[in-house]
Structure formats: structure tokens, C-alpha cells
Amino acid sequence: MMVKSPDPGIEIYVRNKRPADMTSFRLERTLLYVHGATYPASTAFDLPLDGQSWMDYIAARGYDVYLLDIRGYGKSTRPKEMSEDPQTNPPIVRADTAVKDIGTAVEFILTRRNIPRPYDLVLHHCRLEPRRHSSPCRCTVSL
């Protein structure tokens, strides 16, 4: 499904899988996959290998699983600058943009499932802080 971003003309691709009989949604059983700078989440987490993707595997264990493709990746809207000469634009999908897209997806999920706030956000292999850091990554994101 496509979720409107606060930025005009941008929509964020969000995919959902869950057990077919799941009718109650809790924060601790809701998971959002966020990709890194190489591959979109739709190909990284929902690529069937031996008949099952990572997303399928987690959903089959009772989770309401989502993924999102940050703008410019996968099925999300490509910013217009991506069709222009790269020499005329600075990098367009930086950490602040990724945080905005993650926030859009999180708010969509919490509202859709009527899940209360606050919530915990765990980012794996993230680079959302301006300084270098060692693994595991600890990122604080205010949404």
C-alpha cells in the first residue's frame, strides 16, 4: 500500500503480513522492517528463499509485520531530483529524510492498528547519527 508523506508528491510503500486470524494488535507483536542504503525493504525482507521470506517467517510466528521502502527505493516515490543531473543536486535521501519516512510509516501503523504511543524503535545497521559509532547501533529518533 502507498502511504502519503507530509512532503507533496511523495508516497511511501508499506507492506503488511500477519497471520490471517490475527484480530488483536499489540505493540510488542508489531514489527517494522527498515532497509539500509543498499536494497529496498521489499526485496531485502520479503524475498522468498526456499519458499519463505524473512517477513513470512516472522508473521507466521504471530507478528503483525510491516516493511517500508524509503523514498527513492523500491516501490516508493522517486523524488524528482533523481531524474535530474546529479551534479545539480546534493544527496537527496539523507538521514533526516529517512527519519521522516520512518515516522510516516510508524504513525500510519499505530493509527491503523490503534496502538498507543509511546513505542520503541530499534534500528539495525543504521547510520542516523552524524557521528560514527560501533555496533550495535543505538539511534534515538523522535517522532
pTM for the model: 0.81
pLDDT tens profile 75-89: 999 998 888 988 888
CATH number, domain containing residue 90: 3.40.50.1820
Q: Cα–Cα distance between 32 and 63 in angstroms, integer?
A: 10
Residue 125 pLDDT > 60, yes or no?
no
What's the average model confidence in pLDDT over 109-134?
Answer: 64
Residue 90 in any domain: the answer is: yes
Is the Cα torsion angle 66, 69, 75, 79 positive or negative in sign? Answer: positive
Range of the domain at 19: 2-113
Give domain status of residue 132, yes or no.
no
Say if residue 14's pLDDT is above 70: yes
**Residue 137 exposure: Cα atoms within 13 Å on the Cβ side:** 16
- Structural domain total, the chain: 1
> Does some domain include residue 138?
no
Structure confidence at residue 57 (pLDDT): 95
